[in-house]
Amino acid sequence: MEFMRSIAGYLLPIGIADILDIIGVTVALFFLFRLIRGTRAVQLIKGLIAVAVILMATYIFSLKTMNWILSTILSNWIIALIVLFQPELRLVIEQIGRGRMWRDSFLLSSNDSSVNLKVINVLTETARKLSAKKVGALIAVERQVGLNDIISTGQAVDGDISYELLDTIFYPGTAMHDGGVVIREGKVAAAMCLFPLTSKAQQNSSYGTRHRAGMGLSEISDAVIIIVSEETGRISISIEGEMVSNVTADNLKEKLLSVLQPSAQPKSTIKRIFSSNKNNGEKEEDNKN
């Protein structure tokens, strides 16, 4: 009975305005988290949570030096958050302006890192045929890190992946041949997408715009990027900020299987594959998007 009185003592001061306030904040956070789901913001939030946990641990265990370092770094955390989440904040504001926030908040994306063999075969066939015709291509295969912010820069397609569809998109002269294509869950999610250019200054003179865009996206996500040079017809693949140039269709399929299949090799093996085949300074003369 005494316990019930104590609970009532805490609840009685809560008025209708407080309840509405709590509900409003909860709903806002719910829609916000659902909206950023499928973007790189999820990984940034995980990192911030990890930093917060470490900071709490420094208080608990009296780690003064570590606490001072983290406190100094996070003293301007509001500005840091704005800088880190600039693309996502812009996407949220844009979707609110379009009235899409309520609708898009309910959309779920599984972001399964596994890709079936049919998709890998289509990608290999597409790269081989476009390479033979010297038709430029830039294709990103989404994995765990969502690419919603990249998809939003292009034209939605949402079509089953096939060589015919990709060939039509990248055919010179068509409306959507510029930019990149994003593959999600076995479908062509969007075309004409803008990929960020690589931040590695030394690569700017070694690769054309298409290759720098492919490497740039691989630096900020775990996507697998396939590039076909329009000038030379050479096939390249980029993952985790590394570029492998001048690969054959068979080698491309082997690398896609090692990265995209459920029974993929360990990350260390993937790193070894890229390190052993990485082109050291070969110039690609492809300067078109």
What integer pLDDT is reported at residue 241 of this predicted model? 83
Other Cβ atoms within 10 Å of 165 Cβ, number: 18
Show Cβ contacts of residue 239 under 8 Å, excluding neighbours closer than 6 positions: 218, 222, 223, 224, 225, 259, 270, 274
The pTM assigned to this predicted structure is 0.62
- What are the tens digits of pLDDT across the range 277-286? 544 444 444 4
What integer pLDDT is reported at residue 279 of this predicted model? 44
In angstroms, rounded to a whole number, what is the distance separating the alpha carbons of residues 241 and 221?
9
- Angle at which helices 16-36 and 86-98 cross, to 10°: 110
Residue corresponding to tokens 């973007």: 39
Q: Where are the beta strands (DSSP E) in 96-161?
A: 137-141, 155-160
What integer pLDDT is reported at residue 191 of this predicted model? 95
Q: Residue 95 in contact with residue 101, Cβ under 8 Å? A: yes
Selected from 3.30.750.24, 3.40.1700.10, 3.30.1050.10, 3.50.50.60, the CATH number assigned to the domain covering 117-277 reads 3.40.1700.10
The one-letter amino acid at 255: K
CA-nearest of 135, 147, 122 to 217 is 147
Residue corresponding to tokens 């990027």: 225
The one-letter amino acid at 231: E
**Residue 119: pLDDT band with limits 50, 70, 90:** very high
Query: 115-119, 139-143, 202-206: which has the minimum mean pLDDT?
Result: 202-206
The domain locations on the chain are 2-104, 117-277
**Residue 110: pLDDT band with limits 50, 70, 90:** very low
Residue 250 has pLDDT above 80, yes or no: yes
- What value does the mean pLDDT take over residues 157-186? 92
Mean of per-residue pLDDT scores for the chain: 76
- What value does the mean pLDDT take over residues 175-195? 93
The one-letter amino acid at 155: Q
